[in-house]
Amino acid sequence: MIFSNHVLLRESLHAVLSTELEVTSVGGDDGEVLTAAHKIRPDVIVVDLDGPGRHGLRTVRLLVAELPECAVVALTGRHTPHALRAALTAGARGFASRQQPPAELVDLIRRVGRGERMIHPGTALATLAAMHNPLSARERDVLRRAARGMPSAAIASELFLSEGTIRNYLSSAVRKLNCRNRLEAARLAEEAGWI
């Protein structure tokens, strides 16, 4: 189900998504979308956050409160950490971009419908970049070299540190970034622009 007060956006989304998904479009106010959602009981409801009056977050909160079994995807043109945080706090299980290619949007909607939480990749990266970098200067030095595939012994030699100290820095970086291993931590730190 699509909810947007922008007729052109609503109809365009309907045309694009209906080739892959069963879609119903609704305009109007919160009452109309709630009535339609209670009647149809969709698996996923895409809510445009950027509509006139910008009441999309209120709509998300109402849908989540009244129909918790329906997953809500917030759709927006604003790719900011604040917009993402607001949508997730309101209860959205997905965060999509108006600029997303149709195939990606369909995939995001399907995955949210299966119970996954999905965030537009560009917004996720912007949010990570905006976060405070939790790594110390030395952890960044060590992780930067690990990202290039250097073994701990080579990193230790290059930085004039013991191999045990290098392992400690790597373990600390992995723990701080909540990753499983040094390669995952290095990839995350690179994507966030920290190394």
- Walk me through the domains of the chain, giving residue ranges and CATH numbers: 2-129 (3.40.50.2300), 132-191 (1.10.10.10)
* pTM, full prediction: 0.65
Query: Tell me: the pLDDT tens digits for 108-162?
Result: 999 999 999 999 887 887 776 666 788 999 999 999 999 999 999 999 999 999 9
Sheet holding 25-26, edge to edge: 25-26, 2-3, 44-48, 71-76, 94-97, 118-119
Distance of CA 32 to CAs 4, 59, 70, 124, Å? Answer: 11, 11, 16, 32
Query: Tell me: the pLDDT tens digits for 24-75?
Result: 877 777 888 899 999 999 999 999 998 766 678 999 999 999 999 999 999 9
Token duo for residue 53: 């009056």
Predicted confidence (pLDDT) at residue 9 exceeds the cutoff of 70: yes
